[in-house]
Amino acid sequence: MKRLSAAAGDRGRRQSFPVRCFSSVHGAVLRLQHEKGYGIVTIASSADHPTRRDFLFVATGAAAAVGGLATLWPFVSQMNPDASTIAAGAPIEVDLTPVAEGQDIKVFWRGKPIYISHRTKKQIDEAQKTPLADLKDPATDESRVKSGHEQWLVVIGICTHLGCIPIAHEGNYDGFFCPCHGSQYDSSGRIRQGPAPANLPVPPYQFVSDSKIQIG
C-alpha cells in the first residue's frame, strides 16, 4: 500500500480541512502523528482543547504503531540463529592425548577453527618472559592459559585484522603468521607485529581431565 504522509506544511485544498494546529502542550501528539507517517490530515474542531475525536485518532494511531512494531519483531527475529544451529554449537570435548609436544591440532567449534598447541618448554619460557611494554595488546601469558596446564594453548585461529586463518609455527616469534597482510603472533597467540589490533581470542574452555578439554 503506497501511502504518503502529508508534509507538515501541506494545506489540503478542495475539501478544506486545514492541518490541526496543536498547542505546545500537545506537541507530543503532533510528533506522534508524524512519526507514524500517516497522512491523516485531521479535521479542525472548534475547541482549543483536545476533543474525544483527537483522543480517538491518537489511540488508533498508537494502536496501529504498536501493532506494526509487534508484527515486525518476528520478521527480524527469524534471522537470528535457529534452534538447530544453536544446538549444533553446543560444547565439544577434545582428547589431548594424541597431541605430542611441539604439535598442534585444529578443531572446529561453531564454525570457527581453534588451534590447540602443545607448547615446548622454550615456547612457554619465551611467552612468559615477554615484557608487557612490547605488546600492542598487553596480556600476560598466565592470563591466556589454564594454571597447571601451561603447556596447552587454546586460541581461535582467526586473525583479528580481517579474518584470515594464521599459519601455526611460522613467523619470527615461533607462533602464528597470517599470510594475508603479514600479522605475526607469538607462542601465546599475542599480536607482535603487523596490522592486526588484538591478540588471538581465547575461547571459553575447561579441563575435564588432564588429557581432555571441553570447548564452549
Partner 1 sequence: MSGPSDYQPSHPVLKWIERRLPILGFMHGSFVAYPTPRNLNYWWTFGAILSLMLGLQILTGIILAMHYTPEATMAFRSVESIVRDVNYGWLLRNMHAAGASMFFFAVYVHMLRGLYYGSYKEPREVLWILGVIIYLLMMATGFMGYVLPWGQMSFWGATVITNLFSAIPLVGDSIVTLLWGGYSVGNPTLNRFFSLHYLLPFVIAGVVVLHVWALHVVGQNNPAGVEPKTEKDTVAFTPYATIKDMFGVSCFLLLFAWFIFYMPNYLGDADNYIPANPAQTPAHIVPEWYYLPFYAILRSIPNKLAGVIAMFSSIIVLAFLPWLDTSKVRSTKYRPLAKQFFWIFVVVAVLLGYLGAQPPEGIYVIAGRILTVCYFAYFLVVLPLLGKIERTKPLPNSIADDVLAKAGSKAMVSTVLALIVAGGLLVGGVDRARAAESDTPPANKWSFAGPFGKFDRGSLQRGLKVYKEVCSNCHALSYIAFRNLGDPGGPGYSTAQVASLASEYKIKDGPNDKGEMFERPGRPADYFPSPFPNEQAARVVNGGAAPPDLSLITKARSYERGFPWFIFDLFTQYQEQGPDYVAAILQGFEDNPPADAKIPDGAYYNKYFPGHAIKMPKPLSDGQVTFDDGSPATVAQYAKDVTTFLMWAAEPHMEARKQLGFQVFFFLIIFAGLMYFTKKKVWADAH
Query: Is residue 134 a contact point for partner 1 (CB under 8 A)?
Result: no
| One residue of 24, 46, 80, 147 binding partner 1 per CB under 8 A | 80
Phi and psi at residue 67, in whole multiples of 5°? -60, -40
Query: Is residue 6 a contact point for partner 1 (CB under 8 A)?
Result: yes
Q: Where are the beta strands (DSSP E) in 49-195?
A: 92-95, 104-109, 112-118, 152-156, 167-170, 175-177, 184-185, 191-193
**Distances, alpha carbon 55 to alpha carbons 24, 39, 44, 60, 134, in Å:** 17, 17, 14, 8, 67
Site string for partner 1, 14-43 (x = CB under 8 A): xx-----------------------xxx-x
Type of residue numbered 168: A
In terms of CB distance, is 5 or 128 closer to partner 1? 5
Query: Is residue 63 a contact point for partner 1 (CB under 8 A)?
Result: yes
Q: Is 181 a catalytic residue?
A: yes
Binding site for partner 1 (CB under 8 A): 1-4, 6-10, 12-15, 39-41, 43, 53, 56-57, 59-60, 63-64, 67, 70, 74-75, 77-80, 82-85, 87-88, 90
Which residues are marked as active site?
A: 181
